[in-house]
Structure 1
Amino acid sequence: MSKDIRAALSSRAGGGTVSVAVHDDASDLWCAVDANRPYDSASIAKVLIMETVLWRAEQWRRKLTGWEARRVPPMIQVSDNGSAWQLWQDLGPSRIERFLSKARATSTVPGPNGLWGLTRTTALDQMRLLGVLTEARSFLRSRGYGLEQLRKVRADQRWGVPSGMAKGVTAHVKNGWLPRATHGWRVHSVGAFTGAGRTYRIVVLSHDNPSKAQGVRTIERVAQVVHRALNKGRAGGQGLTPLSEISEESDGSVPPGADPAGPPCEDPSGPSRQDPSGPAAP
């Protein structure tokens, strides 16, 4: 599989730096290509935010509060940045770091000055964070709720690793797409796939892309190789995303007020974004 992935990467046009991680839970097959390379997370950090919110609720032996439950679904399903900012601020950096340690995602570093979109992460750590939602021995009991949010991501944000998946397989996906002055476009796609008697995970992270469309196409070529290898003899479902359907707009995970080439001098989030019902409570 790694040989086929490298072949898919070598045939792409336009350049780019790419890391891949694959894990099949049933056979314990692992495949990795440059999986320890660090990247700015962009909107895939929202999976980390959601998992930390769920973990905190379990630690405090409660369900999600109404305030949390109104923010987690839009943060994941439509990639709402306002909800992500509010939840990130409410959690605080120390709790997020404790969750990362619990998940063994120790190469992931929360973004500076509250900039969750500049969280530094690796494909291997993203694989571990997806495993929190898919592994039967996971410490997170509410992983079914988390997977449901990823399954409901809206149609125009379901490009990337679902490309080439077999019919009868369900995709649980989150993507990130962020241009910056250095390393061009960050285009990422992480997903867990269930059905057809197996569960597997695919992570593809990239930067140095000249456009979002180039990054999406690279990710989808890699994903097709993986799905074909893990579902031999099964008809493919989702194909490549038409280039005409790929918008070149940023995911907004780094606000306009932030320095495009590095961390800002001050917190760009401004005053508290929490609504009158207040933040989460024990």
Structure 2
Amino acid sequence: MSGTGQRRLSAVVVVTAALSSLLAAAAPATAAATADAQPTPPQVTCTSAKGGLADRLSEDLGRVLGAHTSGHTSFALYERTSGTRCAYDAGRQYDSASVVKVVVLGALLRQAEDEGRELTADEKKLAEAMITQSDNGATTTLWKRIGLARINVFLRLAGMHGTVPDTEGYWGLTQINAADQLTLLGLLTSENSVLGGASRAYALDLMGRVVPEQRWGVPAGAPAGAKVQVKNGWLQRSSGGWRVHSVGAFTGGGHDYALAVLTADHPGMDAGVGAIEDLSRAVHKDLNGTAGPVRSARARVLPRTSDGSLVPGP
């Protein structure tokens, strides 16, 4: 090799060695930067006619969802005054647990309207026990009396096309999603052709009188001036952990919004309730600002056993 060739080869070796040293030095820093990077919060979709509200809700709710990673959480929200809507994974299907009891009530009320009559004294007694105390025996009785065909008619009229009763008759395993639950809450709080005014008022009255020990969930952080109508469900499955749900409407005192939060696969009921209540507080705060008192979070002991909604219907 000539002297010129040797000099060129030496230069290549020096440059290559220098580049290798630079890459080796940079590699730990790159790895460290990757390790230190924060996970991207879940992307919550919000729209609103009120300036800045959609962005604020998207950011705050995404942050809450990102902090609860042990299971699945879906939700849907509307606020009529500002034309606000938010959703996250709202089409995901869940075992209904006891929140399906609002569907049963809706089907019962629609049946009575179709027959041109009011509820009987016995029907009112069963409906009150079913909603205010989440009584399973009353639910099973009404489920059998109404029948699956009429329940499906109500679901179709209500536009709840993603809600599917269990094929083996276990009403607590009805498949639901957050979008349909919000649709149902919307029917109960506005004029429509599915349920008349008296029926809607009756349903909201029952949901407003749910016993205190079952008023956890979406009421957490609600403004003191709002009427809170709520129904919860909590079901432990042998596989996949807990299904914990809370749906509610907030009306009166200038408020007109509803929130449905469904969760699954959390290791315990506390984890599911925690995810629901953290989301709820963020919603109430962003919609209502900081002015005025809010209802405190739950100050009661949560149930440690399922709501018993794995009860066969027909």
TM (norm. structure 1) is 0.87
Q: Which residue of 1 aligns with 2:66?
A: 10
Q: Structure 1 residue 210 and structure 2 residue 292: aligned? A: no
Whichever residue aligns with residue 251 of structure 1, its letter is: D
Map of 1:91-240 to 2, 5 A cutoff?
91-137=146-192, 139-141=194-196, 142-240=199-297
Deviations along 1:40-60, whole A, 9 cap, x unmatched? 000000000001100110111
Larger radius of gyration: 2
- Please give the alpha-carbon distance, in whole angstroms, between the structure 1 residues aligned to 2:87 and 2:115: 36
TM (norm. structure 2) is 0.79
1:173–1:190 Cα contact (<8 Å) kept: yes
Q: Which residue of 1 aligns with 2:94?
A: 39
- Partner-residue secondary structure (3-state), 1:87: helix
1:132–1:138 Cα contact (<8 Å) kept: no
Structure number with higher helix proportion: 2
Q: Structure 1 residue 83 and structure 2 residue 138: aligned? A: yes
Deviations along 1:7-54, whole A, 9 cap, x unmatched? 012123x61100010001223211001100000000000000001100
- Please give the alpha-carbon distance, in whole angstroms, between the structure 1 residues aligned to 2:112 and 2:104: 13
- Structure 2: gaps spanning 5 or more residues: 1-56
- Please give the alpha-carbon distance, in whole angstroms, between the structure 1 residues aligned to 2:186 and 2:239: 31
- Please give the alpha-carbon distance, in whole angstroms, between the structure 2 residues aligned to 1:207 and 1:186: 4
Equivalent of residue 302 in structure 2, options 221, 242, 246: 246
Deviations along 1:188-228, whole A, 9 cap, x unmatched? 00000012312100000000111111111110000001001
Aligned residues with identical type, % of pairs? 43
Size of the aligned set, in residue pairs, is 256
**Which stretch of structure 1 is more off in the superposition, 225-234 or 211-220?**
225-234
1:2–1:32 Cα contact (<8 Å) kept: no
- Structure 1: gaps spanning 5 or more residues: 256-267, 271-282
